[in-house]
């Protein structure tokens, strides 16, 4: 089921609605780039260790997200994985701040394993207001807003009614509906 932007935006009513809508739009755009790049040859570099990888697609997606956000919200701050790895300060202040992982699962991406996502969070006064995660290959858009719940492709996620603790029941499960 493809994500429905209108359903996601409808759940965004509040002071940061425009930010939420932009995050959803950019996550979907970034997902298209990542899906296409999954099948292509990649230039891979390492960051802090041999297991900490980065590709040109990580940089491309991060640059796209940040540049579009800066156009709309020039006073906002950014904490982005690739910029931080390159030495940019990673400080969460009270200012509106975007927290971005352009390809969550870069190692999977490098090896063409399709479990990858775009992750975008938004914090104000050092508290998360919302998060948007787009699982690119499954086309699942997960969103959550403080005090408003979590959704997958517009359907509310709920904790199951299972009791007995995680070990007794195989762990917590979320259900839609």
Looking at residue 7, the DSSP 8-state letter turns out to be: H
* Alpha-carbon span 158 to 160, nearest angstrom: 6
Q: Is 103 annotated as ligand-binding?
A: yes
Count of H-run helices and E-run strands, the chain: 6, 10
* Alpha-carbon span 134 to 152, nearest angstrom: 9
Q: Is 101 annotated as ligand-binding?
A: yes
* Alpha-carbon span 87 to 148, nearest angstrom: 35
Q: Is 7 annotated as ligand-binding?
A: no
Q: Is 58 annotated as ligand-binding?
A: no
Specify binding-site residues. Answer: 81, 101, 103-104
Specify binding-site residues for Mg(2+). Answer: 81, 101, 103-104
């Amino acid at each position: 089921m493809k994500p429905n932007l209108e359903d996601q935006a409808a759940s965004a009513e509040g002071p940061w609605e425009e930010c939420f809508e932009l995050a959803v739009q950019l996550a979907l755009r970034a997902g298209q780039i990542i899906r296409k790049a999954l099948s292509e040859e990649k230039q891979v570099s390492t960051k802090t260790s041999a297991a900490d990888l980065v590709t040109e697609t990580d940089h491309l997606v991060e640059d796209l997200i940040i540049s579009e956000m800066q156009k709309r919200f020039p006073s906002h701050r950014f904490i982005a994985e690739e910029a931080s790895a390159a030495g940019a300060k990673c400080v969460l202040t009270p200012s509106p701040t975007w927290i971005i992982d352009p390809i969550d699962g870069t190692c999977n991406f490098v090896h063409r394993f399709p479990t990858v996502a775009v992750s975008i969070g938004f914090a104000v006064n050092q508290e998360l207001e919302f998060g948007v995660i787009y699982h690119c290959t499954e086309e699942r858009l997960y969103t959550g807003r403080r005090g408003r719940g979590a959704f997958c492709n517009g359907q509310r996620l709920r904790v199951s009614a299972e009791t007995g603790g995680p070990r007794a029941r195989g762990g917590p499960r979320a259900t839609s509906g």
